[in-house]
Amino acid sequence: MAKKCGRPAKSADQVDSKQRIIDTTIDLIRKNGADYITVRNVCAAADLSIGTFYHYFRDKDDLLMYFVRETSFESCSLKTPLNKIDERISELYMLLINRYMEFGLDFMKSFYTAGNRSLSAYMSEVEGQFEPDTVMARSEREITAAQAQGIIKKSANIHEICMDICTIVKGCVLEWCLMEGNMNINSALQRIINLYIQSYLN
């Protein structure tokens, strides 16, 4: 959750102000791309003061992180059993992908770029570790549990597997964007992760 700082909004309905910032950001990303997002541009389009913005978000990157951090992956429940670890990991990542897709193709194409520093920071590691509560951290926990149960080979490097899977996911999302959404991303993701995981299964 974003740390509150700055002056509180003057509006009686502060929740509405935060939602207006979020809705405006989605609209601006769809129209102009993630690179267009600045505190000033968002506030101008939302007709809100910069002080109101800083009450809810620390900066532009904190705002963009909202879109990837809104779902808690540490506590989310998965339906696929652990012994089908490839399908379970696909299900996990589809929670994130479906969240993106709710905003539409134009949002995805503009948000999922190398220039989006918040996305790059989220979909990576810091000093060899994934940040807590991220989809990658949950993926590592799931595959570690599968290894403990003898599903994954003991010799397998779990962290490396998780990094590779994250790369696979990025590729599938990019391909979905390039194909203008005319691709069954869930099916493709399951198929590729299944092929990748096979060599690590006992």
What sign has the CA pseudo-torsion 27, 29, 32, 35?
Answer: positive
**Lookup: tokens for 3:** 């740390």
On average, the pLDDT of the chain sits at 87
Instruction: Write out the two tokens for 68.
Output: 């990837």
Tokens for 64? 């963009």
pLDDT tens digits, 82-134: 999 999 999 999 998 988 888 888 888 878 887 777 777 777 787 788 988 88
- In this prediction, residue 14 carries a pLDDT of 59
pTM for this one? Answer: 0.80
DSSP 127: T
50-86 burial, b if ≥16 CB within 10 A, otherwise e? eebbbbbbeebebbbbbbbbeeebeeeeeeeeeeebb
Rounded distance, CA 180 to CA 68, Å?
21
**pLDDT of residue 11 exceeding 50:** no
| Alpha-helical segments (H) within the chain | 14-32, 39-46, 50-56, 60-69, 85-101, 105-111, 117-122, 135-148, 158-178, 185-197
pLDDT confidence of residue 13: 53
123 three-class SS:
coil
What is the tens place of the pLDDT at every residue in 95-104?
989 888 888 8
pLDDT of 7 > 70? The answer is no
- Token pair 């490396």 in the structure block, residue: 160
